Each structure stands twice: as C-alpha cells, then as structure tokens.
Amino acid sequence: MKKVLVIDDSATMRRIVKNVVKKLLPDVDLDEAEDGQVAVEKLREAEKTKPFDVILCDINMPNMNGFEVLQYIKKQNEMTGDYEDLYKVMITTEGGKAEVIKALKLGANQYIVKPFTPQVLKEKLSLVL
C-alpha cells in the first residue's frame, strides 16, 4: 500500500487532492499537513515506521513553504539518504518558469499548476504509483 502526504494550507484543496487520489488509488494510505512545518514533522515520524512514498505539496504556505520543504528533504537525503525514494509533486498556483526551475532544482519530480484536472494528477502519479 502506497503512502501519500498532501501538503497545502487550504483545507479545501487538501480535500480535493485527497479525493482525486482516493479515486485513482482506493487502497492508498493518505495523510495531510496544513503547512510545511507539520509536513516535516510527519515525514520525520513516518521514517521511524513506514515512510511516505509520495508528497503532493503546495508552494505558498505559512510557517514553512513548499520550497523550504523541498530544501529540507534534499538536505536530509544528502546527509542520511532517508528520502531517496520519495516522489515529490508540487501542486501550486505558481506557474512561472522561475518557480518551476527552482522546484526541479530542489528535487521536485513533477510540477502541476492549479487549477488542474484529475487526469493531470493521474498522469503525474501513474509514473510512481
């Protein structure tokens, strides 16, 4: 069973993304975080039991944004290799070339601009799930 973490400060967007993922993968283990700080805590905790396979992460969030989450994951992976197999999908309203390049340089595997269709998410996730 795949384990997915949805990270977005909007409860509505978390619900939408989770519903799409559930339709695509009925047996997925879904969790959510309302910002990057909570996400990092959940990632750390999951490393002790069953690590997440995928994160679906917004960029614009309070406390810790999506770029900072990617930086944390990249740094930890370089030091410990903990997140080597973590598939990182950014889902954001930030569609500029600079943001996409920054996310990819920080280790994002995929980039989806909001609003998106379930088909787009399915295509991005089919590569890993």
Mean pLDDT, residues 14-30 taken together: 92
Distance CA 71, CA 57 (A): 13
In the chain, the domains with their CATH numbers are 3-123 (3.40.50.2300)
Query: Sign of dihedral through CA atoms 8, 12, 14, 20?
Result: negative
Residue 60 pLDDT exceeds 90: yes
24-36 tens-digit pLDDT: 888 899 999 999 9
Distance CA 102, CA 104 (A): 6
Mean pLDDT, residues 57-83 taken together: 96
pTM: 0.95
For the chain, strand residue ranges (E) read 3-7, 29-33, 54-57, 87-92, 110-113
Q: List the Cα angle 40/28/13 in 5-degree steps.
A: 60
Residue 127 pLDDT exceeds 80: no
Question: How many residues would you count in the chain?
Answer: 129
